[in-house]
Structure 1
Amino acid sequence: MSANQPVDRNAGKRKRQRACDRCRRKKRRCDGGEICDHCVKVNLVCTYVEPATARYLGHIDNPSEFLDESVTAYVESLTVQFETAQTSLKRLEARRADPPLYARAVRNLVTPFTPPHPDDSGFIDLADSFGALSLDGAPPDPGFQGNSSAAMLVKAAVDVKTGGHLESHRRHRMPPAPRPWVMKSWEAYAPTPPHNFAFPDDHLMGSLVSLYFSNVNTFVPMLQRPMFEECLQRGVHMHDTGFGTILLLVCALGSLYLTDTGISKRDREILAWKWYNQIELCGHLLRRQPTLRDIQAYCLAAHFLTCISNPRFAWAIVGFGIRLAQDVGSHRRKAREPTITAYEELEKRAFWTLFFFDVQLSGALGRAAVLDPVDMTLTLPCDCDDEFWQLSPAGPGSQPPGTTPVTAFFISLINLYRIVHFTLRSLYPVQKLDFQSRLLRVLSAVAAELDTALNQWFSNLPPHLIWDPDRPVSLFFDQSAALHCFYYYTRILIHRAFIPELYAITPPNPLALDICTEAARECIQVADVHRRRQPNGNPLPFSQSPIFTAAMMLIIAERIHAAHPESSDTTDDLALIYTSISILRAQQERWPSSEYFITVLEGLISSDDDSLPDIHDLGPATHPDTGTHTTAMCEPAERVAIPIFPAFVGDEEILPGRVRRPLAI
């Protein structure tokens, strides 16, 4: 043997039938000796203690002797783990194919309403089930009771006992029992006596009613004109307090649109309050069951206060009205048949009106809305104009082919404000820190879904509601202008939360400011075209918040760009800010509540130091929008207080600090 030949340490020893543990893990060729060559080479301990894999079992004469019970259990455990992992992977792949929950929720906003589930109508039978507990007739209506209520347990007990059928002979055999649902003598108030209402004379009343239906009900068709006028001709208001209240509120709203020669803004306002101050709200609930006319009264009162007074008052009235409507189940579909009665249709329209005002006022005040649409099972109102309704209890008819429904505006408005409601809930929550710390990563995706839903809503607008500034002035011209102002206002709400300079919690989007600024310009331009082409000077319905928000976005954008003069030219935006003030000042003739928005915008413009001139310090220059001349000269001032203007009547201005203004030159 040569001296250079390696020594075989395994010579004469029995070789293993498998590779050593280390070679098997590394998938190397192994000689299978007691100490394999590779382990000798790297000076490692060579072991054969790890169990062999199944592929070696075929080479063993008796595998059952080779694999002990622990190895078998180990293999079975690995098999179960593999199957579990495979099942979980399939579930994850299935979930990845479906859109996230927030995406499905947003997309449902622009899809047709699904019919309510049959189980949702269980509350309709509730009064009948309570009737089985009565000896001499059904007790008073217990109001709406949801599935989690104790009343539903009573209904279930009655259904189980009677099989769902109330048999008269069983009812008579029931033993006498106390009737706790009947009010005690000291709880029940005496019936409210009819109010001694002072109505307008017949000529003025006819004018005010006509103005209401022409300027208000055509946008929010809460009342059905033929039915209303039929009750008016029969003199129902002289003995029915509910209808008398509705009539006074109609007259109050109609007074805002009087155009008689010689009547001033102050006269209109005094006349409107004369009718409104006679009504009594929030005081009847303990005396009697709320009715449809009660709910309609809250709708009209909220509309009146929005135009003439303060959003806080209107917001409170809307909240109380929604609670009353929920008490009688107006938020749930009551009909079992495809057709509904006229009463049910009017009840549905009244509730959607409350929903609209609730969302609008909550957004303007930064408060949570009372009702979430997911808690409602109502379908959209019937798309049929008043003149095609039937006066019988059969309910509304159908719009004749070839005619354009006026109510399409109200339906489009409801669908748009469902998007607004979801925007306020998702991007402007009350508990912002807690909410966004958990969902910060998906907020941008939520905004993208909302933007897509808004685009889909826009693409589904009926042709007669598409904005065309050159179309003839008509009701559809007014409706399309109002809808497009709402549309741009909604786009601002969606993207405003992502402006880096405004909100530090949301993920910033450098394009958010440009999107909001462009939408603000479009909103003001639409309102300006409407104002210039409207011959009677009537304001654009519900446009106060959109116009004010648009003007505020332009002021904010101007101040942000002031730090970067090369980034943008704000000369045109300055003219649009003055245009928005002019629009609101024109609206003030009909809607006194616009004065607040005018005061705030003028104050913010006046507080700027060099980018925007003081609206009162223009000197003899021409106003950028109206073309009028002012004679007030600029007076030097070292310092001026910048107030935070009060949002509510009776509040005081907050003076957070003082800033230096440059001396006039």
Structure 2
Amino acid sequence: MRTNYFGSASSFALADHAIAWEKEAYDVQPRYTYPASDLIDTLLVLYFTNVHPTTPILHRPSFERSVAEGLHLADPQFGGLLLSVLALASRYSKDPRVFVDGDASLSAGWSFYNQIWILRKKFEPTIYEVQMYCLLTLYCTGISATHISWLYLGIGIRCLHQRGEHQRKGCGGGPEDELWKRAFWSFIALERMVCAFTGRPMSLQAEEYDLDLPFEVDDEYWDQGFTQPPEKPESQLSYFLADLRLCEIWGDAMRRLYAPKKLKTRMGWDTLGGEQSSVATFDSRMNDFLDSIPPHLRWDPDSPPEDDMFFDQSVILHLTYNFILIAIHRPYIHKATVLAAPSLSICATAARTILRAANMWLSKLQRIPLPNLINPVFVSGIILVMNMLATKCVGLEKNKDISLVGSAMEILKVAESRYHTAGRLLDIVREVRSFYGLFHPPNDHPDSFNAESVPGSSSFESTNESTSTPGLFLPNIHDVFYPQHEQLFQPVADSTLPYDQSSGPRPGMSIEQLLADTERPDATKSIFGDELMSMWMAVPTDVADISGWDAYIESRNGPDVNWFPSFPQTFR
């Protein structure tokens, strides 16, 4: 069966039956080197524990069966997919065989990634290749040259377009069709995350694809007619479908609120009325999304899910929701309009929520953060610094926010042992904080991350390898690089500094409600002095723009100051 897709206007559609197109019988195939079978087995467990719950592009039973049967030895495309799985899983492993030279933590998985061939000639893309591009995108979000992740993302999307996987099919419904659906929707979710991080345009808009969502059925029930058993209604795929609904809002928001000036002017989006209408529309959609979250994925910090996988999914969904709230409102916090004060308040509240949830996530699971946690933590830390400058908060409220900024730095420091980008983001938060003298209380040195000095932190004994859970990232890995830590991550306790919840934004609050609570429409003028306004306006409009922060820090310190000594200039 032909799998190429050409639109009705294509000349290929006319010539397809007029010319006999034949592929060459020979094509050079890669020769991959795989690790020992015991390491493969261990890394597969780590992958399906740490990555699969939030990126379910694979079908676990069939994938593990294919590995056991040795398909990677016979099929180079499946071999490339396996290597990409091993590369990602290596970030959660302490085995010295996953490191280059056996001890460089940032090189975890590089020996697997560096073998993979891309862009085969003369052959149609297979499901294995498309899945591989998705996982390579995830892996490259953590290397020094993060822009490569956007390129892999584009290759995968073009392969999906070539096969017509963006269109609803008139027949099918079997396991292979379900794998292609999962692949397409995984790229939808991943593209939103990567483009938000890199600040680059999306290639898939909602009006350009039309296909069914994946079945809300766990992997082990595919052979039962894709039916989730009534006695187990809480599906692992519920998170993925909820995340896709959230990503649809995210994509629309990025397209409209971060559009080029020419498009905004043409569509009338850059007027005050257009901005207020856009923000109100997205706020309403976000509130509707809250009502649609399945009960087992709803986030309650006082009663989080007991199951580790559902806890993982619930936290990441909660983080993504609040990160999108920040994305919706942050373009307006610099502007002297009626949207500035309420938008800053919403962003600050969402940032606090993100950091508290991330704090709980790491303190419970004790493992290296996922890529979709790192950027929200960075942005939240920056938002809180900006909020403290703008509102000139003092006393307990300021100390609480300073502690949360310290928590963001602690999380990024944990992540930087495996992600180049996390170390760079940590440096940015540290320098931005130091510009304005927003340091921790006197007992906490601003550049120290000694867990014993963190109020309320608890000790942690290293887990013996023979009794540890294979899905967890073991604390003694981190000891090699951060010997001052007894625990991979110890939460920053801030419960002694309560906020007054009687004022300010509340969950589900719309921009209209917040505007109504604002005492004066021009309240933004009262939160900036002339000197602070000048400093504030120099801050990058997009707080997630790393290159913008590079330029900002350089302008304040001079071009000869290198705040990122661990990163070569070519990757800045």
Counterpart residue number, 1:451: 283
Residue among 636, 655, 661 paired with 2:554: 655
- Cα offset for 1:266? 4.4
Contact between 2:322 and 2:351, CA under 8 Å: does it hold in 1? yes
- Counterpart CA distance in 1 for 2:165 and 2:293 is 27
Deviation of 1:308 (Å) = 4.1
Which amino acid letter does the alignment assign opposite residue 175 of structure 2?
A: A
2:206 is equivalent to residue 345 of structure 1: no
Higher relative contact order (CA 8 A, sep 6+): 2
CA distance in 2, matches of 1:658, 1:307: 27
Gap change, CA 1:487 and 1:297, over 3 Å in 2: same
CA distance in 2: counterparts of 1:540 and 1:445, whole angstroms:
34
Secondary structure of 1:352 counterpart = helix
| Counterpart residue identity of residue 296, structure 2 | H
Counterpart-to-counterpart distance in 2, 1:618 and 1:584:
13
Instruction: Give the superposed CA RMSD.
Output: 3.5
Amino acid at match of 2:293: L
TM-score (norm 2): 0.73
- Residue 436 of structure 2 corresponds to residue 574 of structure 1: no
Residue ranges of structure 1 left out of the alignment (5+ in a row) = 1-126, 128-140, 156-176, 632-641, 660-665
Q: Match for 1:324: what amino acid?
A: C
Q: How far apart are residue 570 of structure 1 and its match?
A: 2.0
Do residues 389 (structure 1) and 228 (structure 2) align? Answer: no
Q: Is the counterpart of residue 398 in structure 1 residue 227 in structure 2? A: yes
Measured in 2, the distance between the counterparts of 1:300 and 1:581 equals 27
When Rg is computed on C-alpha atoms for both structures, the one with the higher figure is 1
Amino acid at match of 1:255: S
Q: Distance in 2 between matches of 1:580 and 1:376?
A: 37
Match of 1:555 in 2: 385
Question: In structure 2, what is the equivalent of residue 526 of structure 1?
Answer: 357
User: In the alignment, which residue of structure 2 is the partner of 1:90?
Assistant: none
Per the TM alignment, residue 373 of structure 1 is displaced from its structure 2 partner at its CA by 1.6
The residue number in structure 2 matching 1:421 is 251
Q: 1:262 to 1:585 in 2, by over 3 A?
A: farther
Q: Report the Cα distance in structure 2 between the residues aligned to 1:610 and 1:293, rounded to whole angstroms.
A: 49
1:256 CA displacement: 1.2
The alignment partner of 1:486 has SS state of helix
**Aligned equivalents of 1:331 and 1:433: distance in 2?**
26
> 1-side partners of 2:151 and 2:46: how far apart?
26
Q: Does 1:544 align with 2:377?
A: no
The 1-side partners of 2:37 and 2:395 are apart by: 62
Provide closer, same or farther for how the CA distance between residues 591 and 618 of structure 1 changes in structure 2, counting only shifts above 3 A: closer
Whether 1:514 and 2:348 are equivalent positions in the alignment is: no
Letter in 2 for 1:365: T
Q: Distance in 2 between matches of 1:377 and 1:297?
A: 23
Alpha-carbon distance in structure 2 between the residues aligned to 1:627 and 1:323? 48
Deviations 1:36-62 (A, max 9, x none): xxxxxxxxxxxxxxxxxxxxxxxxxxx
The Cα offsets for residues 607-660 of structure 1, whole Å up to 9 and x where unpaired, read as 2247778986579999666879xx9xxxxxxxxxx9999947xx999722449x
Paired residue for 1:20? Answer: none
Distance 2:289 2:396 in 1: 31
1:463 alignment partner, one of 292, 295, 298: 295
Alpha-carbon separation, structure 2, partners of 1:190 and 1:561? 69
- TM-score, with structure 1 as normaliser: 0.64
Distance 2:344 2:286 in 1: 18
1:237 to 72, 75, 78: 72
Report the AA paired with residue 494 of structure 1: I
Equivalent pairs counted in the alignment come to 466
Give the structure 2 partner of residue 494 of structure 1. 328
Aligned pair in 2 of structure 1 residues 617, 457: CA closer, same or farther (>3 Å)?
closer
CA contact (8 A) 1:579 1:625 kept: no
Structure 1 residue 488: deviation in Å? 0.7
Structure 1 residue identity aligned to 2:375: S
Contact 1:332 1:376 (8 Å CA) reproduced: yes
> Shift in Å at residue 361 of structure 1?
1.3
Distance in 2 (alpha carbons) for counterparts of 1:514 and 1:309: 33
Matched, 1:482 2:294: no
Quote the residue 1:307 is aligned against: 142
| Deviation of 1:431 (Å) | 3.0
For 1:221-262, what per-residue CA distance to the aligned partner results, in whole angstroms no more than 9, with x for missing partners? 111111112211221111211111011111111111114599
1:381-411 deviations in Å (ceiling 9; x for gaps): 1111111112xxxx96211112121111111
* Counterpart-to-counterpart distance in 2, 1:619 and 1:234: 50
Shift of 1:450: 0.8
User: Any idea what the Cα deviations from partners look like across 1:101-144, whole Å, max 9, x if unmatched?
Assistant: xxxxxxxxxxxxxxxxxxxxxxxxxx8xxxxxxxxxxxxx4821
Greater share of helix residues, 1 or 2?
2
Describe the SS at the equivalent of 2:252. helix
Please give the alpha-carbon distance, in whole angstroms, between the structure 1 residues aligned to 2:439 and 2:88.
41
Give the aligned partner of residue 149 of structure 1: 10
Deviation at 1:268, TM superposition (A): 4.9
CA distance in 2, matches of 1:359, 1:261: 34
Letter in 2 for 1:448: A
Give 1:476 shift.
0.7
Deviations 1:564-600 (A, max 9, x none): x679942211110000111122223444431121111
Name the residue aligned to 2:87.
252
SS in 1 for 2:32: coil
612-621 vs 376-385, which moves further: 612-621
Structure 2 unaligned regions, length at least 5: 459-483, 485-537, 559-572
Establish whether residue 204 from structure 1 lines up as the match of residue 34 from structure 2.
no
- CA gap 1:254/1:567 in 2 versus in 1, 3 angstroms: closer
Residue 290, structure 1, aligned to residue 290, structure 2: no
Distance 2:75 2:314 in 1: 38
Residues 619/460 of structure 1: CA separation in 2 closer, same or farther (3 Å cut)? closer
Does the CA-based 8 Å contact 2:297-2:313 persist in structure 1? yes
Summarize deviations over 1:328-356 as a string: whole Å, max 9, x none. 1111122x24x611111111111111111
Matched-pair contact (CA < 8 Å) for 2:81–2:131: yes
Distance 1:503 1:150, change over 3 A: farther
> Counterpart amino acid of 2:299?
W
CA distance in 1, matches of 2:167, 2:449: 61
1:585 aligns with 2:422: no
Distance 1:350 1:453, change over 3 A: same
**Structure-1 residue corresponding to 2:487:** none
Give the distance between the partners of 2:205 and 2:30, measured in 1 at CA. 36
